[in-house]
Amino acid sequence: MIRIGAFLVGLFFSGWLLVSFGVGAAAYISEPPQPTAEHEFHLHPKKLALSSDGPMGKFDRQQLQRGFQVYKEVCSACHSMRLVAFRNLSELGYTEDEVKAIAANWPAQTPSIDPATGEATTRKPLPSDYIPSPHANETAARAANNNALPPDLSLITKARHGGAAYVYSLLTGYQDPPAELAKKFPDSMPGPGLNYNPYFANLNIAMANPLGSDGIVTYSDGTNATREQMAKDVAAFLVWTAEPTLEKRHQTGWAVLIFLIIATGLGYMAYRNVWAGVKH
């Protein structure tokens, strides 16, 4: 009984799947799916080598400070960083006084309550505050950005396929739309307020090229602030904001692995010892 029932159920599911396959395959052959603009023009991120890569990876503090400077002077005009507090910046090598100064001079203010009247107001950020958002809320952010919402950057390198390489590629990927795109997919040409960038999922991004020319920041360590360099530095900084514990993770990982390899080696010898003389 069970086998007859199973046979019928199997025949139904498999049979209907094969019928569906046949119909789908016929449609696929008679009307092959048209390639989309994204299929033809979207590019995978460029290669990016950072010192934090790989199991031995460590942050380059000098680079993180440069990347922070790019974030502060360029990105922070539109993008929030709500999971990072000013105090965390001491991990980049800033002294306590420097952190205080960074917080006090931050362009955006921290929302607060007036102690005298109880009304909503703003005040200068303190080191214990999280980095304030440039916009009061999502509506304000959209209103200031042509109805596009600049994403929070705290986790951006973990929230995109390709991570830091994606950020770097996007920042250096702005270009004129290829003539072929206009010819084959006129609908995919950037509309008003949009910019062509082949590293962006749908090719047209609302953000204007933020690193439009070399030297828009002046690095205090003398590094030449080319567009490439700024993109690389800010990508490295965003790896840190997404995972400040990365170095500790790598160090702990090696200690744990070395312990486990030794313990497993001993475990193997114990196993051979116990089984010595017992064929199996």
Interface positions with other proteins (CB under 8 A): 2-3, 6-7, 9-11, 13-21, 23-25, 28, 33, 55, 83, 151, 154-155, 158-161, 163, 201, 242-245, 248-250, 252-254, 256-257, 260-261, 263-264, 267-268, 270-271, 273-275, 278-280
Least distance in angstroms from the C-beta of 52 to other proteins: 12
Instruction: Measure the CA dihedral 69/70/72/77, to 10°.
Output: 170
Least distance in angstroms from the C-beta of 212 to other proteins: 27
Cβ proximity to other proteins, 14 vs 146, nearer residue: 14
Least distance in angstroms from the C-beta of 257 to other proteins: 6
163-172 helix and 227-242 helix, angle to the nearest 10 degrees: 150
Closest to 71 (Cα-Cα) out of 233, 242, 222 = 233
Structure tokens belonging to residue 101: 């100064």
Cβ proximity to other proteins, 63 vs 154, nearer residue: 154
Cβ proximity to other proteins, 120 vs 275, nearer residue: 275
Least distance in angstroms from the C-beta of 182 to other proteins: 24
Cβ proximity to other proteins, 63 vs 88, nearer residue: 88
Distance CA 197, CA 188 (A): 12
Q: Are 235 and 46 in contact (CB under 8 A)?
A: no
Distance CA 210, CA 108 (A): 19
Least distance in angstroms from the C-beta of 219 to other proteins: 28
Cβ proximity to other proteins, 116 vs 274, nearer residue: 274
Closest to 92 (Cα-Cα) out of 62, 131, 136, 47 = 62
